[in-house]
Amino acid sequence: MSLVLNRLTNTIGQIISSSTWWIVAILTTVLQPFLAYISAQQIASLGLDATPDLYPELAQAIPPVDYLGFDATFLGLVPMVVLGAILGANDYQNHRLRNLFLTQSNRSQVFMVKTIALIVTSLGLSLVSIYLTILTTHVGLRSLGLNLIRLSPIAWQYIGYTGFYWLMLTVLSFGLAMLSKNVILPLFVLIPQIYNLGAFLAERWDWATYLPVAAGNGLLATPTDLIPQTISEGVIVLIAWPLLMMIIAYVRFIKRDVGGAY
């Protein structure tokens, strides 16, 4: 057990010391909260009761204050997907996987350690980033915002939902990268969905609401959105996709030939 914990600690250390991790961390904990702050200042200048009738530049009415700031968290989805893809494909570069198996012959243990390390680091980064985004949003709202310490039960609930959403997409990206041995497949599958392809398809076909990004969008719907999917459905779909992909990736990982380029 101590050996497994040491390997887990080392793997976590390798992740958070990588340049990829720090680039993603800066984008999600600095740039995203900064943009949320600017958006909140614009809302504060209009007032929380602003509507498209009064301000034609608004696409829809401003959501209740408890939900403000969560639209900015979509910015962090792409960096997190990229992080999962790079971490999933990383060991297939420069014979790293072959060297890893020379020192750690238990492939199941290697897979579990890598997966747990990804979950721990991704969840930690996600929750910190999302909390900072919501905090700076209410700083930008000034007197219109929530209490900066207590926030509100709805805000805390949505922080949890958003962190879960980020984590599931990161794990799904990781599994796709491990399965394909490169970063191209997860980026090709997930990033177009993030950039409105998922919402576009979901508006036209019912089956598309069960795509991972569309399910996550339903999970974060506000009272001003028209999303047919319930929160429980979104949670189930978001769990099912990464779970299925990780099972397939696990089976391929423990049986894969690591000769040649790997």
User: In the prediction, which pLDDT does 55 show?
Assistant: 77
Cα–Cα dist 90/183, whole Å = 9
Cα–Cα dist 92/98, whole Å = 9
Ramachandran quadrant class, 225 (left: phi over 0; alpha: psi -120 to 50; beta: rest) = beta
Least confident of 60-69, 110-119, 124-133, 152-161: 60-69
Cα–Cα dist 256/191, whole Å = 27
DSSP 75-86: GGHHHHHHHHHH
Could you tell me which residue, 187 or 105, shows the higher pLDDT? Answer: 187
* pTM (2 d.p.): 0.91
C-alpha angle with apex 143: 137 to 148, nearest 5 degrees? 50
Could you tell me which residue, 191 or 53, shows the higher pLDDT? Answer: 191
CA neighbor of 69 nearest in space, from 25, 99, 36, 27: 36
Could you tell me which residue, 54 or 238, shows the higher pLDDT? Answer: 238
Q: How confident is the model at residue 9 (pLDDT cuts 50, 70, 90)?
A: very high
Least confident of 24-33, 54-63, 173-182, 242-251: 54-63
Exposure b/e, 109-124, CB count within 10 A at least 16 = b: ebbebbbebbeebbbe
Average the pLDDT over 89-113 and give the result.
77
Cα–Cα dist 124/90, whole Å = 21
Domain ranges within the chain, ordered by starting residue: 2-255
Could you tell me which residue, 13 or 218, shows the higher pLDDT? Answer: 13
Average the pLDDT over 70-88 and give the result.
95
